[in-house]
Amino acid sequence: KGKMFVRERIESLLDEQSPFLELSPLAAYKLYGKEWIPAAGIITGIGLIHDREVMIIANDATVKGGSYLPLTVKKHLRAQTIAEQNHLPCIYLVDSGGAFLPLQDRVFPDKDHFGRIFFNQAMMSSKGIPQISAVMGSCTAGGAYVPAMSDETVIVKGTGTIFLGGPPLVRAATGEIVTPEELGGADVHTKSSGVADYFAENDEHSIQIIRNIVENLNRRPKIEFGEGIREPEEPKFNPEEILGIISQDLRQSWDTMKIIARIVDGSRFHSFKPRYGSTLITGFARIMGIPVGILANSGVLFSQSALKGTHFIELCNERRLPLIFLQNITGFMIGKSYEAGGIAKDGAKMVMAVSNSKVPKLTVIMGGSFGAGNYGMCGRAYDPRFLFIW
Q: Which domains does the chain possess?
A: 6-215 (3.90.226.10), 239-389 (3.90.226.10)
Q: Please give the mean pLDDT across all residues of the chain.
A: 94
The whole-number average pLDDT for the span 311-339 is 95
pLDDT higher than 80, residue 250: no
**Statement: residue 78 has pLDDT above 80:** yes
Distance (Å, whole) CA 253 – CA 241: 16
To the nearest 10°, report the CA torsion of 24, 29, 35, 40.
Answer: 0
Give the whole-number percent of the chain exceeding pLDDT 90.
84
Say yes or no to pLDDT of 372 above 90: yes
Whole-number pLDDT of residue 102: 87
Q: Looking at residue 61, what is its pLDDT?
A: 95
Distance CA 72, CA 95 (A): 13
Predicted local distance difference test score (pLDDT) of residue 222: 62
pLDDT of residue 95 exceeding 70, the answer is yes
Is the distance from CB of 156 to CB of 185 less than 8 angstroms? Answer: no
- What local confidence, expressed as pLDDT, does residue 332 receive? 92
User: How confident is the model over 157-177, as a mean pLDDT?
Assistant: 94
Task: Give the CA-trace dihedral at 191, 193, 196, 200, to 10 degrees.
Answer: -30
Q: How confident is the model at residue 29 (pLDDT cuts 50, 70, 90)?
A: very high
**Closest to 147 (Cα-Cα) out of 99, 201, 196, 76:** 196
Q: What is the pLDDT of residues 169-180, one digit of tens each?
A: 999 999 999 999
Half-sphere CA count of 213, side-chain side, radius 13 A: 23
- For the stretch 134-147, pLDDT in tens is 999 999 888 899 99
- Is pLDDT of 43 > 50? yes
Q: Is the dihedral of CA 242, 245, 249, 252 positive or negative?
A: negative
DSSP state letters, 211-266: HHHHHTS-PPPPPPTTSS-------SS-GGGHHHHS-SSTTS---HHHHHTTTSGG
Find the distance separating the first CA and the last CA of the chain, reported in whole Å.
Answer: 40
Per the model's pLDDT, the better-predicted residue between 166 and 22 turns out to be 22
Dist CA 309 CA 293 (whole Å)? 11
Q: What is the DSSP letter of 190?
A: I
DSSP secondary structure letter of residue 5: P
Residue range 210-235: mean pLDDT, rounded: 81
Band the pLDDT of 229: cuts 50, 70, 90.
Answer: confident
**CA 29/CA 379 separation, integer angstroms:** 22
Q: Residue 223: its pLDDT value, please?
A: 60
**Least confident interval from 28-37, 128-137, 341-350:** 28-37
Task: Give the list of residues 6+ apart from residue 42 with CB closer than 8 angstroms, or none.
Answer: 57, 58, 59, 60, 66, 68, 72, 75, 76
Distance CA 198, CA 61 (A): 22
Which residues share a beta bridge with 134?
93, 154
pLDDT at 249: 78
pLDDT confidence of residue 224: 52
Rounded to an integer, what distance in angstroms lies between the CA atom of residue 234 and that of residue 289? 10
Q: Is the pLDDT of residue 220 over 70?
A: no
Residue 364 pLDDT greater than 70, yes or no: yes
Strands 42-49 and 52-59: antiparallel
Amino acid 168: pLDDT = 93
Q: Say how far apart CA 305 and CA 279 lie, in whole Å.
A: 6
Q: Say which range, 234-238, 241-245, 272-276, 312-316, has the weakest mean pLDDT.
A: 241-245
pLDDT of residue 225: 47
Least confident of 39-53, 244-258, 317-331: 244-258
